[in-house]
Chain A
Amino acid sequence: QSVLTQPPSASGTLGQRVSISCSGSSSNIGANSVNWYQQLPGTAPKLLIYSNSHRPSGVPDRFSGSKSGTSASLAISGLQSEDEADYFCAAWDDSLNGAVVFGGGTKVTVL
């Protein structure tokens, strides 16, 4: 059972907007930044969003992140077929000696 809670799945058609939630607590999301990782099938995770809402260079601007209190969310607007992947949220947890905690992951399916 993961410290951060994500829905196991989400789906949308091409061009739709999909949102993924990530729920935590005051010791992790409430106190620290949230980062998001994308894992395409059979590949290693890739940084998608850092510091709640910032995109690394090369990440399309259809990906956006936000945080409020002890929850965060990732939105994909204009869903593309190549966005079909697993998405994980993560944050440091102050109650676990600064351990990094991940969400269980959300599988995004493009219908």
Chain B
Amino acid sequence: EVQLVESGGGLARPGGSRRLSCAASGFTLSYHWMHWVRQVPGRGLVWVSRISSDGSTATYADSVKGRFTISRDNDKSTVYLQMNSLGAEDTAVYYCARDSGRPSGDLDHWGRGTLVTVST
């Protein structure tokens, strides 16, 4: 069974940093691109970033470019999201999601999410 488990959420101060992890199991992580998507509770989904299967290519939403870094360790079956210079606007539930690999670019499995709250 495919499982994605996010961790690392919690309270962060404005201007601070947080590192999220996504532990993957039930499939071979190195075969899949991976994404982070965030959602302010009660609001819509917002795509944050994706990383290629070998980690060589990363793409970011304009809102996080230069502040967030996505990475992966296929040997550890884990994807990371390093978040720096956090602001209140980054408060959200962060989901890790697997790219199916189909040309449609759909995200076929999602974790349960981890909540990041940026506040003083």
Residues of A that sit less than 8 Å from B by CB? 2, 32-33, 35, 37, 39, 43-47, 50-52, 54, 56, 88, 90-92, 96-105
A99 to B45, CA, bound (A): 13
Q: Is the CB–CB distance between A50 and B45 below 8 Å?
A: no
Q: Is the CB–CB distance between B105 and A102 below 8 Å?
A: no
Q: Is the CB–CB distance between B110 and A88 below 8 Å?
A: no
Known contacts A88-B44, A88-B45, A99-B47; A47 and B107 CB within 8 A of each other: yes
Interface residues of B in 56-77 (CB under 8 A from A): 59, 61-62
A88 to B45, CA, bound (A): 8
Residues of B that sit less than 8 Å from A by CB? 35, 37, 44-47, 50, 59, 61-62, 95, 97, 100, 102-113
Q: Is the CB–CB distance between B47 and A101 below 8 Å?
A: yes
Enumerate chain B residues within 8 angstroms of A92, measured Cβ to Cβ. Answer: 105
Give 17 CB contacts A-B under 8 Å. A2-B44, A33-B106, A35-B104, A44-B111, A45-B97, A47-B100, A47-B107, A47-B109, A50-B100, A50-B108, A54-B104, A88-B44, A91-B105, A96-B62, A100-B105, A102-B44, A102-B45
Enumerate chain A residues within 8 angstroms of B97, measured Cβ to Cβ. Answer: 45
Enumerate chain A residues within 8 angstroms of B37, measured Cβ to Cβ. Answer: 45, 100
A33 to B46, CA, bound (A): 18
User: Which residue in chain B gives the minimum CB-CB distance to A46?
Assistant: B110
Known contacts A44-B113, A97-B59; A103 and B107 CB within 8 A of each other: no
Enumerate chain B residues within 8 angstroms of A100, measured Cβ to Cβ. Answer: 35, 37, 47, 50, 105, 107
Known contacts A44-B95, A99-B59; A33 and B104 CB within 8 A of each other: yes
